[in-house]
Amino acid sequence: MRGFAIGTLVAAALIGWAVGGGRWPAFRPAPSARPVLIASARPAAPPPAPAPAPFLTPGTITIPRGAEGHFFVEGDIAGTALRFVVDTGASAVAIGRNDAQSAGINLAALDFNHEGQTAGGTTRYAPVTLPRVRVGSIELPNVQAVVLDVPSTTPLLGQSFLGRIDKVSIEGDRMTLSKL
């Protein structure tokens, strides 16, 4: 039995010598730079899942004109309930610091070094992108907005939201917003 084991070792050594081109494997020149493939018993990891499609909820809402002549609508920013005034003349959704903080925006990370005109005059603001804004049954992702450098103000629903709606119309004392 011992002779069989020694014979097997000698045969393995001779095979290694033959495979090495007549040299012992330890003395072979280093192979040129080639990729080395290592077989693994583990299955390959599945490819990463595609990013989820941006959410968009189509719908139509009708907003009655308020007693003061404005159109107010209930909605939310990232789950924080707000009562917006619809302002077709505002370029962006605008909220105050308190509403921004309630919606989870880190005020310390904002840059309030921008100035803009509001109905109340010149004010400082910081641009932000809101993860989602919902008004009635219409919900949009990634809405550009500004956080005004004031503690509290009536949130404005401006063109950064309204411009992405398919139809904004006013007939008499009713405003209709439609997203198809």
pLDDT band at 6 (very low <50, low <70, confident <90, very high): very low
Distance CA 60, CA 170 (A): 13
Segment 172-176 shows an average pLDDT of: 95
Residue range 151-163: average pLDDT? 95
Token couple for 46: 């599945």
> Could you report the per-residue pLDDT of 118-144, keeping only the tens digit for each?
777 889 999 999 999 999 989 999 999
Region 2-20 average pLDDT: 39
DSSP the chain: -HHHHHHHHHHHHHHHHHHTTSS-GGGSPPPPS-------SSPPPPPPPPPPPPP-B-EEEEEEBPTTS-BEEEEEETTEEEEEEE-TT-SSEEE-HHHHHHTT--GGG----EEEEETTEEEEEEEEEEEEEEETTEEEEEEEEEEESSS--PPEE-HHHHTTSSEEEEETTEEEEEE-
Out of 17-21, 80-84, 128-132, 142-146, least confident range? 17-21
pLDDT score, position 59? 87
CATH number of 59-179: 2.40.70.10
Tens digits of residue pLDDT in 96-110: 999 999 999 999 999
- Domain ranges (residues) in the chain: 1-28, 59-179
Please state the pTM of the whole predicted model: 0.67
